[in-house]
């Protein structure tokens, strides 16, 4: 049986699972992410789901408005087509089904993912990785609740699938935001360059470093991220435990 590492939310408490991993910081240590409004719902869908087309059209409309993709007669982001098969969409809707936000997860080794369009200059974790992309949120959704929830369910999807890490193609400001605000151990894979309408940083985080770091320096972010996991999954994945 695996020995689960235990941490506490108290940054001054001496027991940190044998001091494995990064030491907690007091700045933003107990930061809590903005949660999804209770009036909204979250779905995870595949290509055969009735919500799929609407979600794809939504991503296209947001990307076209921002100049992130080319025009498409079917109103899908055609740049994603090589990876659409095998994609999963995570969708936030209102009660009437109106889409408010979408993100996409894709599982595969590095060369099978969109991020492989950037040749890495640091070692890549072998095996299955989870790429998170196509993040689109309705402009009327002020705050970070929808985006936070989409990232949360995407992380949970990758973790429960046994992925050895996560990849993103993100703006440079988001790279810094993930590191300083959420305490994520993001790593730049290659130099930033212009890609799909903006300057993009190819980014990765490896497991279990990601979970161990968040559990120590952003324990409430970690607790929020893991909400809903079954006790069986906690045991099978040997997830760190944070005590209040």
Structure confidence by residue, pLDDT tens digits, 155-173:
999 999 999 999 999 998 9
Residue 194's DSSP bridge partners are: 199
In a domain, 212, yes or no: yes
pTM given for the model: 0.87
Asked if residue 239 belongs to a domain, the reply is no
Residues 123 and 176 sit within 8 Å (Cβ to Cβ): no
**So what's the pLDDT on residue 83?**
93
For residue 167, what are the β-bridge partners?
Answer: 131, 204
Number of residues written out for the chain: 244
CATH, residue 107: 3.40.630.30
Asked, for residue 7, whether it belongs to a domain, the answer is: no
In a domain, 195, yes or no: yes
Distance of CA 231 to the CA centre of its chain: 22
Give the residue numbers spanning the domain of 117.
27-228
Question: Do the beta carbons of residue 90 and residue 102 sit within 8 Å?
Answer: yes
Instruction: Establish if 244 belongs to a structural domain.
Output: no
On whether residue 243 sits in a domain, the answer given is no
- The predicted structure's pLDDT at residue 9: 57
Packing angle of the helix pair 145-160, 219-226 (nearest 10 deg): 70
Q: Assess if residue 5 is contained within a domain.
A: no
Ranges of the chain with pLDDT below 50 = 1-3, 11-24, 26
The total number of structural domains in the chain stands at 1
């Amino acid at each position: 049986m695996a020995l689960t590492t235990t941490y506490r939310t108290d940054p001054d408490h001496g027991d940190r699972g044998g001091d494995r991993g990064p030491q907690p910081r007091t700045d933003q240590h107990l930061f809590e992410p903005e949660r999804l409004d209770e009036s909204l719902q979250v779905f995870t869908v595949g290509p055969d789901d009735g919500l799929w087309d609407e979600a794809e059209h939504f991503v296209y409309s947001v990307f076209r408005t921002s100049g992130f993709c080319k025009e498409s007669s079917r109103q899908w982001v055609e740049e994603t087509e090589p990876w659409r098969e095998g994609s999963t969409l995570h969708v936030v809707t209102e009660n009437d089904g109106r889409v408010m936000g979408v993100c996409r997860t894709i599982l595969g080794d590095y060369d099978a993912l969109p991020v492989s369009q950037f040749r890495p200059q640091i070692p890549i974790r072998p095996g299955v990785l989870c790429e998170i992309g196509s993040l689109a949120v309705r402009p009327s959704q002020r705050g970070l609740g929808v985006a936070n929830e989409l990232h949360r369910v995407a992380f949970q999807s990758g973790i429960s699938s046994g992925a050895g890490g996560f990849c993103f193609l993100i703006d440079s400001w988001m790279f810094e935001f993930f590191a300083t605000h959420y305490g994520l151990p993001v790593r730049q894979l290659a130099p930033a360059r212009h890609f799909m309408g903006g300057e993009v940083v190819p980014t990765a985080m490896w497991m279990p470093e990601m979970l161990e770091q968040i559990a120590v320096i952003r324990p409430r972010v970690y607790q929020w991220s893991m909400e809903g996991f079954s006790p069986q999954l906690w045991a099978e994945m040997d997830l760190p435990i944070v005590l209040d």
